[in-house]
Chains A and B, each alone.
Chain A
Amino acid sequence: MEKEKHHIVPYKTYFYILISLLVLTFMSIGITKINLGGYSVLGALIFSTIKSVLVLYWFMHLKFDQPFLRFMVGFVTLVFLAVIFITFLDYYYR
Chain B
Amino acid sequence: MEQVSQHADPHYDQEANKLGMWLFIFTELLLFGGLFIVYSIYRFLNPEAFQLGAHELNPTIGAINTIILLVSSMTIAMSTSSLQKKNKGLTVLLLEITIMLALVFLINKYFEWGVKFDHGIWPGSEHLINDMSRGEILFFGLYFVMTGLHALHIIVGMIIIIVALKRVQNGTVNENRSSLLDNAGLYWHLVDLIWIFLFPLFYLIH
Contacts and interface: CB of A to CB of B under 8 A. Distances in A.
Contact of B6 (A2, A9, A61, A83): A2
Interface in A19-57: 21-22, 25, 28-29, 32, 40-41, 44-45, 47-48, 51-52, 55-56
Interface string A65-94: 110010011001000100110011001000
Interface in B13-72: 15, 18-19, 22, 26, 29-30, 33, 37, 40-41, 44-45, 59, 63, 66-67, 70-71
B189 A55 contact: yes
- For A15, A18, A21, A59, which residue has the most chain B Cβ atoms within 10 angstroms? A59
Interface stretch (B74-82, B101-109, B133-141): B74-82
Contacts, number: 101
A25 B189 contact: no
A91 B45 contact: yes
B83 to A, nearest CB: 9
Interface residues of B, number: 44
B77 A9 contact: yes
A25 B66 contact: yes
Contacts of B197: 45, 48, 52
B173 interface: no
Contacts of B192: 55, 59
A49 to B, nearest CB: 9
B63 A22 contact: no
B189 A59 contact: yes
Interface residues of A, number: 42
A87 B42 CA distance: 12
A54 to B, nearest CB: 9
What 8 pairs across the A-B complex have the smallest Cβ distances?
A: A44-B200, A32-B204, A18-B74, A8-B84, A59-B189, A60-B189, A59-B77, A14-B77
Interface of B: 6, 15, 18-19, 22, 26, 29-30, 33, 37, 40-41, 44-45, 59, 63, 66-67, 70-71, 73-74, 77-78, 80-82, 84-85, 176, 182, 185-186, 189, 192-193, 196-197, 199-201, 204-206
20 contacts: A8-B81, A9-B77, A11-B78, A17-B74, A18-B73, A28-B200, A29-B204, A32-B200, A44-B201, A44-B204, A47-B200, A55-B189, A59-B74, A61-B182, A69-B22, A76-B30, A80-B29, A83-B33, A83-B37, A84-B37
